[in-house]
Amino acid sequence: MHSMKNHGLPILLILLMSISSSAQHKNTRRMTGSAAKGPLSAGLKVAPDLDKRLSKFRRVKMPFNRTGLTAREQQMVRKLVEACGYLESIYWRQSDPEGLALYQSMAASASPRDVKLRTYLKLNASRFDLIDENKPFVGTDPMPLGRGFYPAGLTRDQIEQYVKEHPEQKAAIYDQFTVVRSKDGQLEAVPYHIFYRPFLEPAAKALRDAAKLSDDPAFAKFLELRADALLSDDYFPSDLAWLDLKNPKFDIIFAPYETYMDSLLGVKGSYGAAVMVRNERESKKLELFQKYVADIQDALPLAPEDRPSKRGLETPMEVMDTPFRAGDLTHGYQAVADNLPNDPRVHEQKGSKKLFFKNFMDARVNYVILPVARKLMEPAQAAKVSGEGYLQSTIMHEICHGLGPAFARTSAGKVSIREAIGHQFSGLEEAKADVCGMFSLKWLVDHGALPKEKLQEFYASYVGGIFRTVRFGTAEALQLSLRARGDSAECKWPIRD
Ligand SMILES: [Zn+2]
């Protein structure tokens, strides 16, 4: 599974980060005297319902809690935030270079029309509306499938034809970390570390500065390796070091991991970043869960051969607050959990890390799930929906992806579950994780690991979460994510009964 992000879902949160980034401020051009001239966007075709679109978003503060952090630690966080600012700059250039130019051109305009347009450009990091199938909300040009990764107008067929004629260039053109450009009728793949060097160099420096301020040698080593990776495009050694971190107090996501933005070949990575601070209270609870994972596997109502022992195995999991995000983590859908990195070589050698973003989860519950639950659930049950209940059910969902049978037993012998189920695998796997997650919470309550009074809260929060997902319609109609597909499948039970 790539990640737990439901790309393409409506976003209802605008996140106002309370740490200011000097890198970001530098990008704002200061111009004077243009305010009196009327809107700079006057000559552009702008969606007439921009106000309505903006009203779908809500501004939510994501404060940086400094309590308990030393001055040095705060200084380190500031360095990490500074580094994020550079990835943000790259992200825009990947997403929509022309949109960025338009955004910057209106920086000093006080015209309400320009201000609104700028806000909407910033939310989407492009001229294309993420919650309206990427249709343009300014101008009439449709979104280029290849975004800023490929020359304008280049088609998939042309690329395929080109690499047939130039097989030696195929690997570079299809590489996750290259930008494709055309030069004298030829295609050229330029590595990210060269193409984006003006941003990657200062980003790497900021990470190294942060490493010097870190009191955690393992984290400092990771930061150094990640700085190297930015300047070589080889993320493997730093990914391994990232998985070696043991309950770090601070952590970051900082890489071009996801490839969703590239609709032409689906291979180019877009930069995303997050600064994370460990949520001590919730992390402690997570440790408790992990202690029981093997027992829960043993308790599943399955034949013994379908529940291979989980003793001695552990996936790193962190419950973090993310006071700052940039790039693909801050524009569009706001993830509340993630599973990284995506590199299968890393999975094979070390596995992956599951991250839960507590402050974003609270925001989702308070501003999205609760209002929906109050409309659709019995008042007494809706009142039981809580951020904590949602976090616990999400955590158990993630743990449960790893539980249950590892193989299907067929007449042809052992077959992977994915292969045995076929195209319905993803939805069913999500449903399994959900049901198994609820089973696990009940098991933990029955065995005294969680307080009995909490059980109804877990159930209600889980159901509230389902309503949040299905209100967007069925999976097929809206091309929702795997998670949504799983949720919808489960909902058929109560409806049929
Ligand atoms: Zn899942």
369 with 429, same domain: the answer is yes
Q: Residue 495 Cα, ligand 1 centroid: separation in angstroms?
A: 22
Domain-embedded: residue 7: no
Q: Residue 383 Cα, ligand 1 centroid: separation in angstroms?
A: 26
Q: Residue 422 Cα, ligand 1 centroid: separation in angstroms?
A: 17
Q: Give me the pLDDT at residue 412, please.
A: 83
Q: Residue 277 Cα, ligand 1 centroid: separation in angstroms?
A: 23
Domain-embedded: residue 298: yes
Q: What's the angle, vertex CA 172, arms to CA 264 and CA 91, rounded to 5?
A: 55
Q: Give me the pLDDT at residue 37, please.
A: 65
Backbone dihedral angles phi then psi of residue 380, each to the nearest 5 degrees: -65, -35
Q: Residue 417 Cα, ligand 1 centroid: separation in angstroms?
A: 15
Q: Residue 118 Cα, ligand 1 centroid: separation in angstroms?
A: 35
Q: Give me the pLDDT at residue 13, please.
A: 41
Q: Residue 395 Cα, ligand 1 centroid: separation in angstroms?
A: 10
Q: Residue 245 Cα, ligand 1 centroid: separation in angstroms?
A: 23
Number of independent structural domains in the chain: 3
Q: Residue 335 Cα, ligand 1 centroid: separation in angstroms?
A: 13
125 with 222, same domain: the answer is no
Domain-embedded: residue 192: yes
The answer to whether 469 touches 401, Cβ cutoff 8 Å, is no
Q: Residue 394 Cα, ligand 1 centroid: separation in angstroms?
A: 8
Domain boundary among 244, 262, 278: 278
Q: Residue 465 Cα, ligand 1 centroid: separation in angstroms?
A: 13
247 with 292, same domain: the answer is no
The answer to whether 472 touches 482, Cβ cutoff 8 Å, is no
Low-confidence ranges of the chain (pLDDT < 50): 1-35, 474-497
Structural domain boundaries, residue 134: 12-61+97-139
The answer to whether 120 touches 137, Cβ cutoff 8 Å, is yes
Q: Residue 166 Cα, ligand 1 centroid: separation in angstroms?
A: 40
259 with 373, same domain: the answer is no
Q: Give me the pLDDT at residue 313, please.
A: 62
Q: How far apart are the first and last CA of the chain?
A: 32
Alpha-carbon distance of 15 to 152, in angstroms, equals 32
The beta strands (E) that lie in 342-483 are given as 353-357, 407-410, 413-416
Alpha-carbon distance of 329 to 331, in angstroms, equals 6
199 with 134, same domain: the answer is no
Q: Residue 404 Cα, ligand 1 centroid: separation in angstroms?
A: 14
Q: Residue 149 Cα, ligand 1 centroid: separation in angstroms?
A: 30
481 with 338, same domain: the answer is yes
The beta strands (E) that lie in 222-327 are given as 250-258, 270-278, 317-327
338 with 420, same domain: the answer is yes
- H helices within 233-279, ranges in order? 236-244
Q: Residue 223 Cα, ligand 1 centroid: separation in angstroms?
A: 29
Domain-embedded: residue 128: yes
Domain-embedded: residue 302: yes
444 with 305, same domain: the answer is yes
Q: Residue 424 Cα, ligand 1 centroid: separation in angstroms?
A: 14
Q: Residue 192 Cα, ligand 1 centroid: separation in angstroms?
A: 31
- Indicate which CATH number applies to the domain containing 216: 3.30.540.30
- As residues whose CB is below 5 A from the ion ligand 1, the structure lists 430, 433
Residue type, 69: L
Alpha-carbon distance of 341 to 330, in angstroms, equals 18
Cross-strand pairs, 16:
61
217 with 356, same domain: the answer is no
129 with 168, same domain: the answer is no
199 with 231, same domain: the answer is yes
Return contacts of 148-152, CB within 8 angstroms, 24+ apart: 148/93, 148/94, 148/95, 148/96, 148/97, 148/179, 149/94, 149/179, 149/180, 149/261, 149/262, 149/264, 149/268, 150/179, 150/180, 150/264, 151/180, 151/181, 151/182, 151/187
Q: Residue 427 Cα, ligand 1 centroid: separation in angstroms?
A: 9
Alpha-carbon distance of 1 to 8, in angstroms, equals 17
Domain-embedded: residue 5: no
Residues with Cβ within 8 Å of 468's Cβ and at least 6 positions away in sequence, in order, are 364, 368, 369, 372
Q: Is the peptide bond before 341 cis (omega within 30 degrees of 0)?
A: yes
287 with 165, same domain: the answer is no
Q: What SS3 class is residue 430? A: helix
Domain-embedded: residue 154: yes
Q: Residue 480 Cα, ligand 1 centroid: separation in angstroms?
A: 13
